[in-house]
Structure 1
């Protein structure tokens, strides 16, 4: 069973990665999503934070917490279930440079879906767009030859589950909610002192 799944995983990887050798006009797009699109998600967190609504700021904090928890969990999984990158064991179209470290699960997919799922939980309409964006990041990591599909699926599941758990904890655990609210209030006090009064009234 395990061997069958591994074979299917490689077949899907090979099918998707082969596009890098045929449809080269898309390679630059995939390189962008594989290497730089994550910065747009970070910019999204910053943008939501500076819209200065309490819900958006809580959402931004939760997305960062979910990403951090996801990364920590991913590191533990990689330690106990180490898997080589595709380019270590196979001849692939590798479009982006990458260290030959653990492939499973994908940190990029974990972070992208942790952020996108947090946005979706709070702001569903915009969240759908972010989830599509996260999916493109995930697909690009296979296209460019640095991850297997199962690495991506595991990272995506980990990111979404982490986002949901963090949101539920922050929403239902009074202590956690109060701590986050206190952090936001502390920041806003400082912000009110730094920004002109006209701007702080818009908060």
Structure 2
């Protein structure tokens, strides 16, 4: 599939990147390629912060990496259905990132779907961490166009996929609170799941901070 309705915006962004100092472009490229690691760190922090909280909050914190995997799989299925070539292949523009080869499909953006799914899930699991994750996800999504590997509509579609997958799944994860409470009673696994303070309810929505 070839879709170039936003090719002009894509060219404007990539031309601007070519006029930008090299060190800045390299920083954006590095962040675009490896910035997903930020979300892995935030997931670990969310788990740690949920250990003294109620079981529902721990359930949502534990669901974040699973939600990200589901978002990636859903996005990859959609990508295989559309078969859109990368814009740097179709438009033959000079880009910051080496252009992926033919058959490395562009629509929707996997990086964006993963980042947005992680940010949304973290926002539900731990509001404070979520408001850190959201701007990181926005910057990472924009960087995919800046380095030349995605059209703007690829990124927007990735945002839609990330939100559509992460929001309902993370909310539904609260229902796993009873299972988490049982695991908290395990001698071996209990420390991994933490224990709620005395008098803390195990059900209901987790407190957001």
Tell me which protein shows more helix as a share of its residues.
1
Aligned to 2:207: none
Q: CA deviation at 1:98?
A: 5.6
For structure 1, which segment, 79-88 or 95-104, has the greater mean C-alpha deviation from structure 2 after superposition?
95-104
1:162 is the counterpart of 2:165 = yes
Aligned to 2:151: 148
The two structures have a TM-score, normalised by structure 1, of 0.80
1:117 is the counterpart of 2:115 = no
Aligned to 2:93: 92
The two structures have a TM-score, normalised by structure 2, of 0.77
Aligned to 1:16: 13
Tell me, yes or no, if the aligned pair for 2:60 and 2:173 is still in contact at 8 Å: no
Relative contact order, CA 8 A, sep 6+: which one is greater?
Answer: 2
> CA deviation digits over 1:52-103, x for unaligned, max 9?
3446643332211211111111121112111011121122233234643011
Q: Distance in 1 between matches of 2:33 and 2:186?
A: 32
Q: CA deviation at 1:14?
A: 1.1
Q: Please report the RMSD computed on the Cα atoms of aligned residues, expressed in angstroms.
A: 2.8
Q: CA deviation at 1:32?
A: 2.3
Q: Distance in 2 between matches of 1:147 and 1:188?
A: 49
Tell me, yes or no, if the aligned pair for 2:17 and 2:146 is still in contact at 8 Å: yes
Q: Distance in 1 between matches of 2:30 and 2:181?
A: 38
Task: State how many pairs are aligned.
Answer: 189
Structure 1: segments with no counterpart, 5+ residues: 195-199
- CA 1:19–1:183 in 2, change beyond 3 Å: closer, same or farther? farther
Question: Which aligned runs of 4 or more in structure 1 are off by greater than 6 angstroms?
Answer: 200-203
